[in-house]
Structure 1
């Protein structure tokens, strides 16, 4: 019986450990500028397929700064989300400027 209680307790807490990290992704305005191999920017490892790029890792910084750093390397973006923070249209315009 004790084993069942322990198993039930572990099962109940499993979702807390299984949460996926917040998404870090972007869409390039010009897919031709996508890097052909993984690129590390501020500790984030960016990989692209077509116009869509995703990243793992990265330093703690505001999404707007991360966007500017990526745009310097990859060119303009039409969408940008850094660790779960989605940039607005105005923030994207500033990032691409």
Structure 2
């Protein structure tokens, strides 16, 4: 019986959805596409703001750089738990699409 419970819990853990947090990024210029793929996420964009569910707990410069390669200068990246600082955003700008 204990073995069945352990196997059931393991199966549930493997099939449970991954942690995903709602992220928002903003850009210096309006994004021309309605949907952008960056960091393996489809972001929905309107003007200079894009929203997407990312399998990360907090914002990072690495994520920002991957987004910037697709859309240009990122002026903000945040979720409910974290937000990039001005210094981190400055580090992200080097990767921005021209």
Name the TM-score class by shorter chain: 0.5 to 0.7
Length-normalised TM-score, structure 1: 0.64
Give unmatched runs, 5+ long, in structure 2.
Answer: 1-19
Pairs within 5 Å for 1:1-97: 22-31=21-30, 34-58=31-55, 63-81=60-78, 84-97=81-94
Instruction: Give the Cα separation in 1 of the matches to 2:37 and 2:26.
Output: 17
Shift in Å at residue 85 of structure 1?
A: 2.5
Residues 90 and 55 (structure 1), Cα distance of their counterparts in 2 relative to 1, 3 Å cut = same
Greater than 2 Å deviation, 4+ residue runs: 57-62, 82-85
RMSD (CA atoms): 2.4
Number of equivalent positions: 75
Give unmatched runs, 5+ long, in structure 1.
Answer: 1-20
Q: Which has the higher helix share?
A: 1
